[in-house]
Amino acid sequence: MTGEAIGRVSVTAAYRGNGNNTASSKSALVTVLVGLPKLALSCGTGPWTHGTNATCTATLSSYATSAVGGTIRWSETTGISAFTIYSSTCTVSPAGSCSVVVHMIKHGGYYIKAQYVGDANDRAASRSLLLAIS
């Protein structure tokens, strides 16, 4: 089963029968507990230049509607202040995305990370992206 919403779902199996066996069917309720969302991350096409800003966007897919209004946290994985993230969190829109502005400070390659914190219906998801700042 794929693409089902979180909650109770009815599943039916049916046999059409043949010359030797009669047709039959059976239904059962199944509970879909937790979604496994995927997170995509983009900061434009680059190149990223020292002293400039970029808009970075995190986009969820395969998520429950309860993710809307949830939180995505942003961080620099190296911890050396290679860039400034103007807001360390953003709120998931009805389209499943949110964006932050990043100011490039140091030359080199550094990773930015976005993490959806999860909710009652979705597990957490994260993604990192290498920013090569020239």
Domains of the chain by start residue, with CATH:
38-133 (2.60.40.10)
This model's pTM is above 0.85: no
- Per the CB < 8 A criterion, the answer to whether 104 and 48 are in contact is yes
CA dihedral (91, 97, 113, 69) in degrees, to 10, reads 20
**How far is residue 124's CA from residue 58's CA, in Å, rounded to a whole number?**
13
Cβ-based burial of 119 (10 A; exposed 0-12, middle 13-18, buried ≥19): buried
Residues 6+ apart with CB under 8 A from 81: 105, 106
Predicted confidence at residue 2, as pLDDT, reads 56
Specify the length of the chain in residues.
Answer: 134
- Per the CB < 8 A criterion, the answer to whether 55 and 103 are in contact is no
pLDDT in tens, 39-91: 999 998 878 899 999 999 999 998 878 889 999 999 998 878 889 999 999 99
**How far is residue 33's CA from residue 48's CA, in Å, rounded to a whole number?**
41
pLDDT in tens, 7-51: 677 888 888 889 898 988 898 887 766 778 999 999 988 788 999
Tokens of 117: 């914190």
